[in-house]
Structure 1
Amino acid sequence: MACARGLCTADKVFIFINIAFAMYSGAMLATAARLAWDPSTYTWFRFLCAAQYRVSCAYVLAAGVWLCALVYLAAATRCLRLYAAGVACLVASEVAYGAWMAASLAAWWRSAPEAELARHGMDVMHDLKPALLAIDRYRDVARPLYDMIEEVEREAPNNAFVIIVFGVLGAVLQVAAFIMAVRLARRARGSSAGSLPEKACAVADEDSDTGAPTAPPGWRKRANLGMYTILDKIF
């Protein structure tokens, strides 16, 4: 229980949140690299949704770099308010990006010719499977193709599930990061404000002895050494 209480302090939670932010940043930078250079990722996306592809590439890269900067700011205790402002800006940008993507994809699905092409492509996939099963001469090639199409149709919804889960987790982490940063900033400000009266009292106590001369540094050590020398000569 003591270990659990030690792990649940605000400082430790803040560290864990920023470790998760670093992992998210690496994942987003890797995704941006795949969107830019991996043909299996960007070819169909760029062909069907050119505008959404360009915006997504730029935003994912910018968000990954922004998270890197937030992790760097987390190490500087004097920048906690700036860190909280950065998290708030990131959340606002995510809301704006998500709203724009939803609206643009809805409009794309209704009226874009590429959307009609995508619908025809899905129909072709459904018609292609019986044709592959009917091919006897090239069964050793047709059967693996059929299995791959079946696997894609079966496993494709998992991508949406993973995106939703990690999106919700990222939102929770961002809210927690903002709250923890504000709490730690208030605590740091309170501790610094509390130390000022103590310093002022110490200065006032030193100044209150106006009649006493100011002792040079190290005088007590030299006085003790001199006393021991005198006692040694006497005895």
Structure 2
Amino acid sequence: MGRCVRALPTLLLSVNLLLMVFAGAALATAARLKWDPTLYVALREVFPREYRVVCALLPAAAALLVLLAHAALLALRCRPPARRALLATYAAGSLLLVAGEVGATLWVAGRVREWLGSAQAAELAHALRTSEYLAPLLQHLAYFHPLPERLRDILREAEEDAPRNAFAGGGAAAAVVLLQLLAAALALAVVCSPGRRARRWSKTRDPDTDTTTTPLSVRRGEERAPLRAVYKQGRLVLV
């Protein structure tokens, strides 16, 4: 049991290290949503409000993950009272962040589901179906210049990669939520874990004689008389 308790801080640091990886991925995704035209143009035109919300939440969540990880690292280097306070704050912040992430994800999913049943989605689906008739035209134009053929390959690749990107994003979001819950549980376990037992023998050092005394007691007949074991120059002397 004691070994498990001592391993809790190490596990907490390991989980925070994994969370930092996902925080970097979230920052990279936020940058791509802001500057990669192959991704942000379609999302901005189809889901303008949801696009703005996601662009704001991704870097904010990543920054909060980094701050919480630094708080946990600082807590494990503090004394027990400050450590408990910082770890409790870390656990509360992690749970609040998880609640915000889950709420934002459910809101975006509800908006997307609502849009899929709208007339705008039906028009877009019809336009995508008509793009199949453009393939022979693009192939014919590729005889004069390779750009139309390249455009057709890009469209085909985007259509094939869309489900994979959705599965990858959903899996990453689920992993982040699980890691945050695990980190909060580990932080609370460290807070609730018992401290080190007090030493049985209290030792005092005399700065003048450079001796260490340990309180002892022995029986003399029917009485219990206190004694002191004094270490002087490597020898034990009972006083």
Q: State the TM-score, normalizing by the size of structure 1.
A: 0.72
Does 1:129 pair with 2:135?
A: yes
Q: Which has the higher contact order (CA 8 A, sep 6+)?
A: 1
Identity among equivalent positions (%) equals 30
Q: Deviations over 1:17-64 (max 9, x none)?
A: 101111111221222223233333322211211110111111112111
Match of 1:219 in 2: 208
1:91 shift after superposition: 1.3
Change (3 A) 1:89 1:135: same
The code of the aligned residue for 1:219 comes to D
**Paired position in structure 2 for 1:210:** none
Q: Tell me, which stretches of 5 or more residues in structure 1 are unaligned?
A: 207-214, 229-235
Query: Given the alignment, which residue of 191, 195, 220 partners 1:191?
Result: 195
Match of 2:105 in 1: 98
In structure 2, runs of 5+ residues without a counterpart are: 77-82, 212-231, 234-239
Residues 83 and 181 of structure 1 are in contact (CA less than 8 Å); yes or no, is this contact kept in structure 2? yes
Which of the pair is proportionally richer in helix? Answer: 1
Give a deviation string over 1:55-90, Cα, whole Å, max 9, x none: 111111211111011111111131111111111111
Is the Cα contact below 8 Å between 2:142 and 2:149 reproduced in 1? no
Could you tell me which of 175, 183, 187 is aligned with 1:177? 183
Whether the 8 Å CA contact 1:48–1:118 is kept in 2: the answer is: no
Mapped to 2, the partners of 1:71 and 1:221 lie a distance apart of 44
Q: Which residue among 167, 172, 189 is the counterpart of 1:166?
A: 172
Query: What is the 5 A alignment of 1:43-62?
Result: 43-62=41-60
| More displaced stretch, 75-84 vs 38-47 | 38-47
For the structure 1 residues 183 and 49, does the alpha-carbon distance in structure 2 shift closer, same or farther, using more than 3 Å as the test? same
Number of matched pairs: 201
Q: TM (normalized to structure 2)? A: 0.71
Please point out which of 62, 65, 69 is paired with 1:67.
65
Alignment match of 2:152 (pick from 146, 149, 174): 146
Deviation track 1:140-169 (CA, whole Å, cap 9, x = no partner) reads: 444333333322222222111211221222
**Aligned equivalents of 1:154, 1:108: Cα separation in 2:** 21
1:28 aligns with: 26
> If each structure's strand is expressed as a fraction of its own residues, which one has the higher value?
2
Output the amino acid matched with 1:218. P
